[in-house]
Structure 1
């Protein structure tokens, strides 16, 4: 075994692995956790909301790719904000990512439980978190391999559901009706759907473990986002056709309900099993991303430095991974999934606001994207964040403010000493 010197991680992931990690995060979250809540908010304007979310996600992906190529280290926007805007904004981004994505992990774990064993969803969710933490602990290569299998299964089954829904279900016209569509509803739906797109950040947060990061990271982000957008649009259209806007809004398991509407009974258990598998894939990538950000923040002593330890045999930040596993398992055993999604969406949108603000400071020589890209991304993130339900905004803002207060208090004590 190769010992990792100086607390650095080994670069073992290629383009396919990096793309797969991003797809595993996005596809599980988007299809099985965000479509129905977004339909409740946006009504027949769901596809419009999806387009809005995609534009913001594209801007964020472009900004993330340029920054990741310049700063190919673990931590994502925590590193970008620190280097481009100052230590405080890097800390706020890292804090928002850790707390927001921890909530995302809990939501994905609960999705696994709801599809696998609804009567004991919380217990299954906690067990899933602990199981995947064990996979991550023995090395990220094994995690990437598992994610590749999960993504292949999920995409295959979703394509079958899409085709069956369009061909065999009774059919509802897919059109925007002015009776159930409002600007606020579409923006709120876009904010919830953005929760689904945010998985490409997992690629950036694995910056220290990707080979040739300046070339691999931008390509992986673009490919993962494009594939996911095509899949999302296809599935959303098929579900609107099979269930109608109101039916999709009320569905607790929309993919399974769409399969049921086709009259193909064999497809229902296949879709339900796939939902659990997809959520596992998303959970796998989410836990990877959160642990790497904690690792980076601990290395800079914004979190306890003991969390910056790298396992001498497996080459992973094992103490950070164990902490994430325990916290998320406890959260998944106790929280409500809708609360987790709303809070996560607000925190992650604020995180990407810092990403775009950081990208706006790049010079042309440093690979700055077209000037409008980070501007649209920044404004879009803030608009979508504050269009979310009032409770989500209030709780999210309170948690971010608490993190800022801790940072400022620690800086004052350091200055006094």
Structure 2
């Protein structure tokens, strides 16, 4: 490709990126903590969120089936090209950028916590650092190797899920689901924003547009199938977990799924589950090291941040500078270790970006009819509007529940983003970069090479 990236990810790599990238974040980080508030109703929380999930996914299905799906950048490109405004796309994606950096730190720290609790030794920060640096090097040496390793780890994760769930359904105790709502309906509603954290993987797949083969057709299909598969996986794992161990005990566990497996699996089986849990954290972190670097890459390609960040390694065809910058930031987050705060910031950043994306979906047929007509997936306008408004309403509510706890940090982060944006624009104008042409060119191309 003209930007230096190579299309080396196929259909199965896409599934491994999306499903493998999402499963670790939700089921192994949030579920046990959510049980403390909502009790054994947590599995049904994942199902209740399905309509929000599908309405949010619709925006990605539409945008990824347009020529915009051929490029990295995800929601940043979708929003900026819809409104013909770099800053709108940048600001919403800037919030998502900090969210994903936070998720990277959460995954690495959670991996360290989990492994040290299981083996009874080891420093969490050191274990987290080692895992992050392994995936840093893997992502530097090429997206092909990233895809191979992600696929293998996802296969191991899937096997572990089968080992956990299939026999586990026969050990479910129905009395563990009573009371279903120990803190009432309000407790159930309170956990929904944090459970939605499990579905942040949309953006991961969209960011791979520059390296997927036949992305306009492959990515929407992968997203739709992957979304349903992820909901099913979340429901089955959590229903077994809360059915086997009472919710109050599960909420106190530092290695919840390993403890669940220990109830009914022989030694060999529970260690398979432990390896699967480690793979869940690893697949998520590996995918994020790749994905978050493509956000910076897309920013730099548009000259809204310094263009040098978009530099691609000539040997490996990877944006090594962007990958390195993100790794340094996440290492700082790991060693300051503010997990609870990071989770709230990550959730808020994710909600704000999805809000912007929903607005862009509603506006697309009206403000960019030619771009909308180029989509391979074009739902009827009433469906777009209804899904957009529903998704927007729920996401605004979720955002409102968290905004006050992270308001100051978001203001500071916004100010930092504005300064970097202005610096990038000044640099671009000094080099006579054609911003108008860049906005139009991404979606007016009728065909883009699906090979190198």
Name the residue aligned to 1:380. Answer: 394
Contact 2:136 2:323 in 1 (8 A): yes
1:180 to 183, 188, 191: 183
> How big is the shift at 1:146?
0.8
Separation of aligned partners in 2, 1:368 and 1:411: 35
Contact 1:170 1:261 in 2 (8 A): no
- In structure 2, relative to structure 1, the CA distance for the partners of 1:264 and 1:398 (3 Å cut) is farther
Name the residue aligned to 2:434. Answer: none
2:27 to 31, 37, 54: 31
Does 2:338 match 1:336? yes
For 1:182-236, what per-residue CA distance to the aligned partner results, in whole angstroms no more than 9, with x for missing partners? 33x3333221121111113211101111111110110111121111111001011
Name the residue aligned to 2:78. Answer: 80
> How big is the shift at 1:125?
0.4
Q: CA RMSD in A?
A: 2.5
Name the residue aligned to 1:158. Answer: 161
> How big is the shift at 1:106?
0.5
2:321 to 309, 319, 323: 319
> How big is the shift at 1:305?
1.4
Name the residue aligned to 2:288. Answer: 286
> How big is the shift at 1:400?
4.8
For 1:275-332, what per-residue CA distance to the aligned partner results, in whole angstroms no more than 9, with x for missing partners? 2221011000111110000100112222221111111121111111111122212222
Separation of aligned partners in 2, 1:164 and 1:267: 10
2:58 to 51, 57, 62: 62
> How big is the shift at 1:270?
3.0
Does 2:259 match 1:245? no
Aligned residues: 411
- In structure 2, relative to structure 1, the CA distance for the partners of 1:413 and 1:157 (3 Å cut) is closer
Structure 1: gaps of 5 or more residues: none
Contact 2:17 2:150 in 1 (8 A): yes
- In structure 2, relative to structure 1, the CA distance for the partners of 1:200 and 1:309 (3 Å cut) is same
Contact 2:129 2:334 in 1 (8 A): yes
Contact 1:169 1:263 in 2 (8 A): no
- In structure 2, relative to structure 1, the CA distance for the partners of 1:306 and 1:176 (3 Å cut) is farther
> How big is the shift at 1:79?
0.8
> How big is the shift at 1:25?
0.8
- In structure 2, relative to structure 1, the CA distance for the partners of 1:406 and 1:224 (3 Å cut) is same
Contact 1:202 1:286 in 2 (8 A): yes
| Residues 277-286 or 296-305, more deviating | 296-305
Contact 1:20 1:148 in 2 (8 A): yes
Contact 1:130 1:326 in 2 (8 A): no
Name the residue aligned to 2:448. Answer: none
TM-score (norm 1): 0.91
Separation of aligned partners in 2, 1:313 and 1:355: 35
Name the residue aligned to 1:93. Answer: 92
* Greater Rg over alpha carbons, structure: 2
Contact 1:43 1:181 in 2 (8 A): no
> How big is the shift at 1:90?
0.4
> How big is the shift at 1:171?
5.2
Name the residue aligned to 2:151. Answer: 148
